Amino acid sequence: MAVPDPQWGERPKAYVTVKDATKELKPDGILEWAKSSGAISKFMVPREIEVVEELPKTNTGKIRKNLLRQWAAHSGPRSRL
């Protein structure tokens, strides 16, 4: 998802969930993987990565992007691992 950036207008931010709750996921590890991965362009690598227990979804199972934008804008309450 995109968040406001003073220089570029907007920049990417990633919200990540962990499939296996017994594993600990560190944002720095994900960031290093994204930077070294040839599948992701450098301008698309997020500067911020936030690990959450669950992404907000609608009744039909779609991700509520508007709520993610609110989280990013207000650094609002979210459940962290």
pLDDT band at 64 (very low <50, low <70, confident <90, very high): very high
Structure-block tokens of residue 57: 């979804």
Report pLDDT for 79: 45
Span 22-62, pLDDT tens digits: 778 888 888 898 889 888 888 888 888 888 888 999 999 99
Measured over all CA atoms, what is the biggest interatomic distance in the chain, rounded to whole angstroms? 39
Number of C-beta neighbours around residue 33 at 10 A: 11
What CATH number does the domain containing 43 carry?
Answer: 3.30.300.30
Host domain of residue 49: 2-74
Answering whether pTM is above 0.75, one says no
Helix (H, G, I), strand (E, B) or coil at 35: helix
Report pLDDT for 57: 95
Nearest to 17, CA basis, from 61, 57, 53 = 53
Q: What is the mean pLDDT of residues 52-76?
A: 87
Mark out the alpha helices in the chain (DSSP H runs).
27-36, 65-74
Does a structural domain hold residue 53? yes
